[in-house]
């Protein structure tokens, strides 16, 4: 694993899965920073947690990653990708997550709690954390183009 910290956040639909995932990571002696929500709140808003995780990853480039969880995974993915330097993908398969981390330098993984259980979330997280971004010129060139596209 290449990161120094993992920032994790979730709304009410991802709250239970977030807590289980944090416990799982801590048992593996991985540094996890819980960005909320800290209590179940059925009327909380996913953009709040996406912002917190995206800001934290942005402020710690190269040595941190994030995990966001909401019911569909889509809302937090959209919200996180609004921040420059953030590349968030909605994970649906370990192969896709590995590819996204290595080739697209994804630094935040989104998990859909309504569609994936704890065992699947663990495998998604493990592959995300154990895959390293490729540093060949073509991958760096593509990232620069993404950065230039942000307005």
pLDDT tens digit sequence for 28-45: 999 999 999 999 999 999
User: Model's pTM, two decimal places?
Assistant: 0.94
What percent of the chain stands above pLDDT 90? 86
Alpha-carbon distances of 55 from 16, 58, 65, rounded to whole Å:
23, 5, 11
Ranges of each domain in the chain: 5-149
Pair 15, 59: CB distance under 8 Å: no
Instruction: Using 70 as the pLDDT threshold, list the residues of the chain that sit under it.
Output: 1-3, 150-151
What architecture (CATH level 2) is domain 5-149? 3-Layer(aba) Sandwich (3.40)
Pair 96, 66: CB distance under 8 Å: no
């Amino acid at each position: 694993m290449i990161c120094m910290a993992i920032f994790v956040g979730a709304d009410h639909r991802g709250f239970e899965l977030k807590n289980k995932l944090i416990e799982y990571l801590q048992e593996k002696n991985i540094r996890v920073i819980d960005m909320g929500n800290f209590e179940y709140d059925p009327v909380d808003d996913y953009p709040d947690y996406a912002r917190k995780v995206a800001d934290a990853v942005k402020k710690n480039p190269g040595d941190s990653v994030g995990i966001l969880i909401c019911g569909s995974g889509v809302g937090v993915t959209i919200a996180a990708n609004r921040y420059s330097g953030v590349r968030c993908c909605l994970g649906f398969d370990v192969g896709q997550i590995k590819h996204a981390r290595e080739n697209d330098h994804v630094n935040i993984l989104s998990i859909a709690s309504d569609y994936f259980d704890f065992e699947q979330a663990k495998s998604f997280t493990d592959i995300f954390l154990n895959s390293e971004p490729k540093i060949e010129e073509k991958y760096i060139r593509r990232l620069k183009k993404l950065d230039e596209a942000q307005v």
